[in-house]
Each structure stands twice: as structure tokens, then as C-alpha cells.
């Protein structure tokens, strides 16, 4: 099977648009996705990315259900451009969040984990475009068979939870395996990367760290400064946050987590679980249900499930409170090559100008 025909179908439409299967599906001007990052992708960043012509995606997993509706309405008040909402398919309240997405007329629903065939069908019946994120070819094949409209595939360079296969190897595998548009994520930050992704057959690129490092991001300035000061070697992968591979900046906090023993890790996880319960509005029963869902079909110990509570609260400490001494900073490897804080509008315009210039400079086959 063939993938998306990204490079073959992409066409220049002046500076008013750049058409690929992704832009046609989502109704956006440019084949760029601002991915849903917990505590980062709030209404201000999402509306700025959407207004700039990209697909802005609101992160909902770290907010209570009632806050989700308010956040969606805030984005709508800021821009008329299409945008999406990212949510966890395994969350116990996922059906309620899906209902809000449908009722509020959100264009795109993206998922950090594969949604069920029933959830996909419910969204599609309501006219919502469904775009799960995956990290393996088999996962892309599964959600495509279940009716997903497109898929975001993240290679090992990407920030947050990640795999160990580079985007340049994983992307063509997925493009060859499915017949739906594929969005490439992990390692992208400029127009050259967009052209490379299109050449592989992708329909666009997804970027998290690059949008985090914009003037429209609400991440504290002191935290952004730490990202800008980082080199490629300062970005590492650790399993000490929640038992799963997690790409982030190497800091004193991360070094401390790496040295911590099992008992101290579990005690810390219990404290953070309690904190996340208060922040998210979830009950202990709801968190246990989500933990059971996480364990289902996976080789996860109960200690790993409990450690998963570390992630949202450790990220919140840095991304919201600016406390990098007690928090962690998820980061793609591209953090080591980013050195400025443009607005979303400036960033998207720059990427598209670079992409068009790169396309024009490519040698002609003879």
C-alpha cells in the first residue's frame, strides 16, 4: 500500500496556502501541527498556532472536564480557524470529553493512545476528524483499520514518552503501510524538515518543542531560557519518571531521579498521585480505573502504574510554576538546535518560506 502522496500532491498556492492531504482534511492553510502538550498547549498557544495557519491542538488530559469546555470556548473566542483537542483514549472520562468535543464543534480529535473503534466511529459520525498518535507501524495499521482519518507518527527524537526508532526509519514504514495521511513528528523545527517529511510521503509535520519555544507559549521565561541554553547532548531519555522511556532535558532533578531507589520513587509517586488527583478533579476510584486500563494488555507492574502519576505533576512544576528544581522538562532533541522565541505567526511564516525556498532549490532530474 502507499501512504499519503505527500510530496507528490503538495502544491504551492502562493503564500496563502500549501495544499497536502492534511490541510485538506483539517481545513488548515499549512501542513504543520502544533502537538498537544500537557500544561503547555493551552488556549493562548493553540489559538495563536491556529490563527497562523497551523493545526493547533489543545491538551486536555491535564485539565478537569469542566475546564475542557471552557478552554475550547476560549480558543473559539480568539480565532475562527480550525483546531483540535488531544485526549487520552484510556481515561475513564474519555466518553465525556468526546461529548464536549462534539457539542462544541471541534474540528479534530487527536489521541495520545489508540482510541477504540467505537470511539472513532462516534467522532466520525459527528463529523470530527480523528487523528491518533502512534509510535509503531503496527499501531498505525490498527487505527487505520478502525477508521482513523490520519495518524501522527513520532520517532525516537520526539519529546515526552517516545520509542527508540528514529523518525527517518519509522516514517517511511508507516507511510508504506497505511492509506491515510501520515503526519511526521519527532525532530522537526524548520522548513527543510517539512520538505524532507513530504519527500518521505508524509502529509505534514507535527512539532511540540518548537511551539513550546515561542513567545505565545505560557511556559515561564526562565524555563524557556533553560531550553534555549541546552545543547543536543543535554537532551536525554530516562525511565525514572514513570517507568517508561521519557525524553527530557537533563537537569539536576533528572540526575537525582536516576540515582533514586525504588522505595523513594514509590513514596514520591504516591505524593504526586495525590497532587494530580486534586489538580485534575479525579477521584481515587477514577485513578484506579485508569490504572487498570493502563495495565490491560501491557507488561506493567503496579509500581509502574503508580509511578505514572509522576509525569503530570513533575511537568506542571516546571511548565506552570517554573520550578525546574523540583520538576522535569519534556523535550525533543531539537531543543538543542533552537535558539529563539518567535511568535507562532513568525514561526509558521518562516517555516513555509524555508520550505518553498528549499523546494525551489532542489535539483531537477534529467
**How does DSSP assign 221-282, residue by residue?**
HHHHHHHHH--GGGEEEESTTTSS-EEEE--HHHHHHHH--HHHHHHHHHHHHHHHHHHHT-
How does strand 108-111 pair with strand 129-134? parallel
Q: Is residue 111 one of the residues assigned to a domain?
A: yes
User: Model pTM?
Assistant: 0.88
The residue written with cell numbers 531543543 in the block is: 335
Residue 6 clears pLDDT 70, i.e. is over it: no
Q: Is residue 285 one of the residues assigned to a domain?
A: yes
The residue written with cell numbers 498505525 in the block is: 140
CATH number for the domain harbouring residue 36: 3.20.20.70
Residue 288 clears pLDDT 60, i.e. is over it: no
Residue 266 clears pLDDT 80, i.e. is over it: no
349 by Cβ neighbours in 10 Å (0-12 / 13-18 / 19+) ranks as middle
Q: What is the pLDDT of residues 43-100, one digit of tens each?
A: 999 999 999 999 999 999 989 999 999 999 999 999 999 999 999 998 889 999 999 9
Sheet (strand 246-249) strand order: 160-161, 246-249, 235-238
296 by Cβ neighbours in 10 Å (0-12 / 13-18 / 19+) ranks as exposed
202 and 126 within one domain: yes
Mean pLDDT value across residues 233-242: 90
For residue 23, give the C-alpha cell: 490541510
Reported confidence tier of residue 262, pLDDT bands at 50, 70, 90? low
Q: What is the pLDDT of residues 111-157, one digit of tens each?
A: 988 899 999 999 999 999 999 999 999 999 999 999 999 999 999 99
46 and 101 within one domain: yes
167 and 83 within one domain: yes
The reported pLDDT for the residue numbered 317 is 85
Q: Is residue 40 one of the residues assigned to a domain?
A: yes
150 and 49 within one domain: yes
How many structural domains are present in the chain? 2
Mean pLDDT value across residues 165-186: 98
41 and 149 within one domain: yes
104 and 67 within one domain: yes
Q: Is residue 223 one of the residues assigned to a domain?
A: no
179 and 97 within one domain: yes
115 and 156 within one domain: yes
Q: Is residue 366 one of the residues assigned to a domain?
A: no
The reported pLDDT for the residue numbered 1 is 43
Residue 292 clears pLDDT 60, i.e. is over it: no
349 and 281 within one domain: no
Q: Is residue 26 one of the residues assigned to a domain?
A: yes
The reported pLDDT for the residue numbered 310 is 63
How does strand 83-87 pair with strand 108-111? parallel
Residue 255 structural domain = 231-330
358 or 317: which leads in pLDDT = 358
352 and 310 within one domain: no
Helix or strand run (H / E) with residue 50? helix 43-51
Helix or strand run (H / E) with residue 194? helix 191-200
179 and 127 within one domain: yes
184 and 214 within one domain: yes
Amino acid at each position: 500500500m502507499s501512504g499519503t502522496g505527500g510530496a507528490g500532491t503538495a502544491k504551492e498556492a502562493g503564500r496563502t496556502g500549501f495544499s497536502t492531504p492534511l490541510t485538506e482534511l483539517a481545513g488548515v492553510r499549512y501542513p504543520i501541527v502544533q502537538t498537544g502538550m500537557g500544561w503547555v498547549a493551552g488556549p493562548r498557544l493553540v489559538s495563536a498556532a491556529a490563527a497562523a495557519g497551523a493545526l493547533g491542538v489543545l491538551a486536555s488530559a491535564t485539565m478537569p472536564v469542566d475546564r475542557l469546555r471552557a478552554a475550547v470556548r476560549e480558543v473559539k473566542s480568539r480565532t475562527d480557524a480550525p483546531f483540535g483537542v488531544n485526549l487520552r483514549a484510556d481515561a475513564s472520562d474519555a466518553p465525556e470529553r468526546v461529548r464536549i468535543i462534539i457539542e462544541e464543534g471541534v474540528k479534530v480529535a487527536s489521541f495520545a493512545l489508540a482510541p477504540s473503534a467505537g470511539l472513532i466511529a462516534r467522532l466520525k459520525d459527528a463529523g470530527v476528524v480523528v487523528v491518533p498518535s502512534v509510535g509503531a507501524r503496527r499501531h498505525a495499521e490498527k487505527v487505520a483499520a478502525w477508521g482513523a482519518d490520519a495518524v501522527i507518527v513520532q520517532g525516537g527524537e520526539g519529546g515526552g514518552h517516545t520509542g527508540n526508532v528514529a523518525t527517518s526509519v519509522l516514517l517511511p514504514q508507516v507511510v508504506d503501510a497505511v492509506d491515510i495521511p501520515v503526519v511526521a513528528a519527532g525532530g522537526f523545527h524548520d522548513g527543510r524538515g517539512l520538505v524532507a517529511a513530504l519527500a518521505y510521503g508524509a502529509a505534514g509535520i507535527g512539532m511540540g518543542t518548537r511551539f513550546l519555544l515561542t513567545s505565545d507559549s505560557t511556559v515561564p521565561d526562565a524555563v524557556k531560557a533553560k531550553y534555549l541554553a541546552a545543547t543536543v547532548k543535554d537532551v536525554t531519555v530516562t525511565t525514572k519518571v514513570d517507568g517508561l522511556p521519557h525524553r527530557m532535558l537533563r537537569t539536576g532533578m533528572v540526575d537525582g531521579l536516576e540515582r533514586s531507589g525504588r522505595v523513594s520513587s514509590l513514596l514520591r509517586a504516591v505524593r504526586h498521585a495525590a497532587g494530580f488527583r486534586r489538580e485534575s478533579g479525579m477521584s481515587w476510584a477514577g485513578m484506579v480505573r485508569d490504572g487498570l486500563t493502563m495495565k490491560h494488555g501491557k507488561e506493567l507492574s503496579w509500581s509502574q502504574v503508580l509511578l505514572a502519576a509522576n509525569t503530570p505533576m513533575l511537568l506542571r512544576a516546571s511548565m506552570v510554576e517554573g520550578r525546574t528544581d523540583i520538576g522535569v522538562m519534556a523535550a525533543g532533541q531539537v531543543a538543542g538546535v533552537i535558539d529563539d522565541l518567535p511568535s507562532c505567526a513568525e514561526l509558521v511564516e518562516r517555516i513555509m518560506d524555508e520550505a518553498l525556498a528549499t523546494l525551489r532549490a532542489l535539483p531537477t532530474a534529467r
